[in-house]
Amino acid sequence: MTGVPSPDRRRFLAAGAAVVGAAASAQLWLPGTARAAERALPEGLFSLGVSSGDPLPDGVVLWTRLAPDPLDGGGMPAEEVPVEWEVAEDERFGRVVSRGTAQALPAYGHSVHVDVRGLRSGREYWYRFRAAGQLSRTGRTRTAPDPYTSRGSLRIALASCQNWQHGYFTPYADMLAQDPDLVLFVGDYIYESTPSSAGPRRHEGTGEPYTLTQYRNRYAQYRMDPDLAEMHAHAPFVVTFDDHEVDNDWAGEIPQDPGKQSHDAFVARLTAAFQAYYEHMPVRASAIPNGPHIQMYRRLEFGRLLRLNVLDTRQFRSDQVTSQQAATDPSLTMLGAPQKQWLLDGLRDSPARWNVIASQIMMAETDILLGEGKLWYYDAWDGYQAERNALLKEFRSVRNPVVLSGDRHFTMISDLKEDFADPSSAVVGAEFVGTSISSNGDQDQTAFHTQWDPLKADNPHWKVIDAHRGYHLFDIDRLGIDAQVRVVDTVLKPQATASTLAQLRVESGRPGVQRV
């Protein structure tokens, strides 16, 4: 940790011949004062804002990407650019605790990922970047709590599925006002779909992205949504991807349409998509892709209060089946053997009061066949019955398991049952499917309930189902989780009114979720 030099000492150093180190950069933290050695770069280097992510008790990842021409490849020269960063205990940077210089590399789209360590646990910090005399906006972040404490509380927002073309990301404006300690984003950060004039906003480009430059442009467009940019600058995110960061419903190295994309072409697409994903997310170097592979499943600890297991339910899964019979095939896997073992180990050995699983896709059963018999969605955990059921059996011996997921574009809040085939089986956990930020746009609620309410009899584990856009907010302490379904009245306009649609509680030691 670097302290702030006193004003006297700073003046002394600045007057000296060899101005180096922290004191020197403190002198230069003003916009418009590019050093002679710095090449002049276009204005608007920080068009994509700043963000932070994957907080640890002593650190956090700080992110930015230099992109003066964000929708056209970025607009940077093909050379390394030094980017200074600093972290302070106060918003005015009077008490800087850490600073340094990172290199923005052309090979990574001039993105910067600073893995700051040496910070104090459970407290907020402010950070900013500077390159070629240009200063970024200030971001705020928060470290994870002390590793040994289970006291205090944690406020987590659960978000997913933000389709630019379906609406403005208005739920983030309300999320910002709710001031969460952490935003958990469980997939569909971008959509790869072709530009269309049917919705309130239009994707950039001329088609689906396939190349690295095309994916970069798509991420850049999303990153410039003002509500999303504000949220990123206000709290750390923990992110994982689902299908639309690459291609609808892909599985492993199999695209949605194997007839339209050869295996080689799809591997090249995965490679480009993962690289652009890394370049635009506040994640550690462990997530730097290796060709068409990326390491995204990981664990984050929030003291002894909460262990967060972030899954990757895309890269290692078997291809989706197409029949009820096939969905029960015991050879199907959602996680792949290594990730499955990693998850079980992390659940069995956990010292945490709450064991949260961030799953892209829904775990509780969705039976969409009214009356006798069942019909499942095969892309969700229902399509991977044997592995899902084995995991649910395991939940019996896990302390307070809670699954947070997305993908469905509905709020679906459920008890998790040990065996969904047996209506009398035990409740072993709770699941929150956190609707969508904008995907599906403003839905007709009456039509939704006309279609879905009759299915409640087939799915008695459902506690809340709803089709508003929004997110879920969780206040977590040792005794329980208070959950709110926060919804907006519209995503078709840039401003919206938010409200609480439902309040729920998960009691520690009592599996399942109750409506309040």
User: Residues in the site for Fe ion, rule: CB under 5 A?
Assistant: 161, 188, 439
Nearer to Ca ion, 107 or 369 (CB): 369
Tokens encoding 307: 């262990």
Residue 349 vs 372, nearer CB to Ca ion: 372
Rounded-to-10 torsion of CA 285, 294, 474, 52: 30
- Please identify the residue of the shown chain whose CB is closest to the bound Ca ion: 458
Q: Determine the Cα–Cα distance for residues 333 and 345; give it in Å rounded to an integer.
A: 17
Size of the site for Ca ion (CB under 5 A): 3
Cβ closest to Fe ion, residue 111 vs residue 439 = 439
CA–CA gap between residue 88 and residue 4 (Å, rounded): 10
Three-state DSSP state, 65: strand
Tell me which of Fe ion, Ca ion, none is bound by residue 475, counting a contact when its beta carbon lies within the kind-specific cut-off of 5 to 8 angstroms: none
353: left (phi > 0), else alpha (psi -120 to 50), else beta? alpha
* 457 vs 516 by CB, closer to Ca ion: 457
Q: Which two tokens stand for residue 301?
A: 């600890």
Q: Which does 507 bind (CB under 5 to 8 A by kind): Fe ion, Ca ion, none?
A: none
**Out of 369, 390, 447, 479, the residue judged to bind Ca ion by CB under 5 A:** 369
Q: Whole-angstrom Cα distance, residue 255 to residue 276?
A: 18
Main-chain phi, psi angles of 485, to 5 degrees: -90, 110
Pick one of 38, 204, 249, 367: the residue that binds Ca ion (CB under 5 A): 367
Binding range to Ca ion, per CB under 5 A, among 45-53, 73-81, 160-168, 454-462: 454-462
x-or-dash pattern for Ca ion, window 273-312, by CB under 5 A?
----------------------------------------
Residue closer to Ca ion, measured from CB, 1 or 369? 369
Dihedral sign, Cα of residue 450, residue 451, residue 453, residue 457: positive
Q: What single DSSP character describes residue 285?
A: G
Q: Which does 188 bind (CB under 5 to 8 A by kind): Fe ion, Ca ion, none?
A: Fe ion
- Give the max Cα distance, the chain: 85
Question: Near Ca ion by CB under 5 A, which window of 74-82, 321-329, 378-386, 458-466?
Answer: 458-466
Closer CB to Fe ion, 312 or 415, in the complex: 312
The yes or no reply on residue 382 touching Ca ion (CB under 5 A) is no
Contacts 24+ apart (CB under 8 A), 453-457: 454/370, 455/367, 455/368, 455/370
User: Which of Ca ion, Fe ion, none sits in contact with 439, Cβ below 5 to 8 A by type?
Assistant: Fe ion
CA distance 191 to 425: 38
Closest CB to Ca ion among residues 241, 420: 420
Pick out residues in 72-131 that bind Ca ion (CB under 5 A).
Answer: none
Strand partners, 157: 183, 473
CB of 408 to Fe ion, least distance (A): 8
Closer of 259 and 373 to Ca ion (Cβ): 373
Q: How far, in Å, CA of 474 to CA of 159, rounded?
A: 12
Minimum distance from residue 303 beta carbon to Fe ion (Å): 32
Choose, by CB under 5 A, the member of 4, 458, 459, 496 that binds Ca ion: 458
Minimum CB–partner distance for residue 159 and Fe ion (Å): 11
Residues whose CB is less than 8 angstroms from the CB of residue 312 and which lie 6 or more positions away in sequence, other chains included: 240, 241, 296, 297, 335, 339, 360
Contact footprint for Ca ion (CB under 5 A):
367, 369, 458
